[in-house]
């Protein structure tokens, strides 16, 4: 495994619901870079920037993976089994009072 291969690949749905495994930063960068121009957002730009920085050796692979996971989750292409992992790492947990 090289430095830019994810410890755990990311599974996304592309096209007409075809599963695709994203094993590394380059594959994540390519998918984000090819994303249609009209629905691009700050999440899209953050994923693109994080992947680009990692490919240049200026960023961390895990930061690129997390940015890609956030992008995939928010665009609705992240496969369902990975969603709880993303939410636990990217959104703060809110504690709820216990009823006794």
95 domain residue, yes or no: no
Per-residue pLDDT of the chain (100 residues; tens, 9 = 90+): 455 899 999 999 998 889 999 999 999 999 999 998 777 799 999 999 999 999 999 999 999 999 999 999 999 999 976 444 445 455 444 444 455 4
Is 88 part of a structural domain of the chain?
A: no
Q: Assess contact for 10 and 68: CB atoms under 8 A.
A: yes
- Asked whether residue 72 is domain-assigned, the answer is yes
Range of the domain at 63: 5-82
What total of structural domains would you count in the chain? Answer: 1
Structural domain includes residue 76: yes
User: In this structure, is residue 48 part of a structural domain?
Assistant: yes
């Amino acid at each position: 495994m090289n430095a830019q291969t994810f410890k755990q690949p990311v599974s996304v749905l592309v096209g007409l619901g075809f599963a695709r495994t994203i094993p590394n930063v380059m594959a994540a960068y390519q998918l984000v870079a090819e994303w249609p121009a009209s629905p691009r957002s700050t999440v899209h730009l953050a994923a693109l920037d994080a992947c680009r920085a990692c490919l240049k050796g200026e960023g961390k692979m895990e930061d690129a993976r997390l940015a890609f996971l956030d992008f995939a989750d928010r665009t609705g292409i992240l496969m369902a089994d990975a969603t709880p992992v993303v939410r636990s790492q990217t959104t703060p947990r809110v504690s709820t009072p216990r009823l006794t």
